[in-house]
Amino acid sequence: MSVEHRTLLPRAAIAAARLLGPAARHVVSAGRRADCSTLHHRERRWARHVVSALRIDLTIRGLEHIEPDTRYVIAPLHEAFADPVALLHLPLNLTWMARAELAEWRTLGRYLEGTDQLIVDPEHGDFRDLVHKSGGVFERGDNLVVFPQGSILGIELAFKPGAFWLAERLDRPILPVVLTGGHRVWEHPFSPLLRFGQSVEMDVLDPIPPSEARAEMASIEARMRALAMNPERVRPRRYDPLRDGFWDGYDFEISPSFPALAAQIAAHREQGHASEASRPSEIV
């Protein structure tokens, strides 16, 4: 272990105890009392504490694109568990669409359950009631955050149509948000490393009318990815399956903009199917 990491370990432990202990329980308790205004106030205060404790240099641009009285389907790029910390600095009340396995985390699971977040299982889920549940989010005055990539593997992941489909069905504009740098703060699940003093950039783009959401998905994705990969900003996370794993069983696709990586994933999946087909059937 390096001298730098030994020096940072006590600081990281103190930060984790402050932010994932009583501070996190304070947020959850507001949700359990069904007090939405108190909940969102505590969420934003907690996010500010995270930024301060980890000395994150958070740059936010494009807030002028947000209409205070409009409720959005927010579609951010996604590369890290630190992304919600940045998004909680938006002047909007947020409800999250989260993967089901996150509910198994002790602290995060209590938060998701106690604050009525939308839990989905992309690989095995039933989405028939998703529109109804999403409508309830807007009725209580919140905005719905849906990460269109569906995973934190990297910038190469293609968008899924769910966020854009919901925006059209529920007649809510899409609010695209470009986020980069969060993966440098905490690399989980690829590494337990927690870094201090990292830079995160967040750009809020022009809202997309609901009538144009699905038709414009490809162009929105291309625009967001181009901005994220601008060499003048904090670099996004890049996906390397030999380093990060192939994540078999997870529902994700690689954008056609990265043909070599898409071919690598396709070849791996074909090899896996061939291996399964060659196994002898079990007799029950």
User: Which tens digit of pLDDT belongs to each residue from 82-104?
Assistant: 999 999 999 999 988 877 666 66
Greater pLDDT, 54 or 13: 54
Q: Which tokens sit at 118? A: 């939308």
Domains in the chain, please, with CATH?
3-275 (3.40.1130)
Reply yes or no on whether the pLDDT at 23 is more than 80: no
H-assigned helices in 54-96: 83-87
* Strand duo 174-180 + 73-76: pairing: parallel
pLDDT band at 15 (very low <50, low <70, confident <90, very high): low
The amino acid at 76 = P
pLDDT band at 61 (very low <50, low <70, confident <90, very high): very high
The model's pTM is 0.84
Q: Please compute the mean of the pLDDT values over residues 215-224 and round it to a whole number.
A: 97
What is the CB neighbour count within 10 angstroms for residue 187?
18
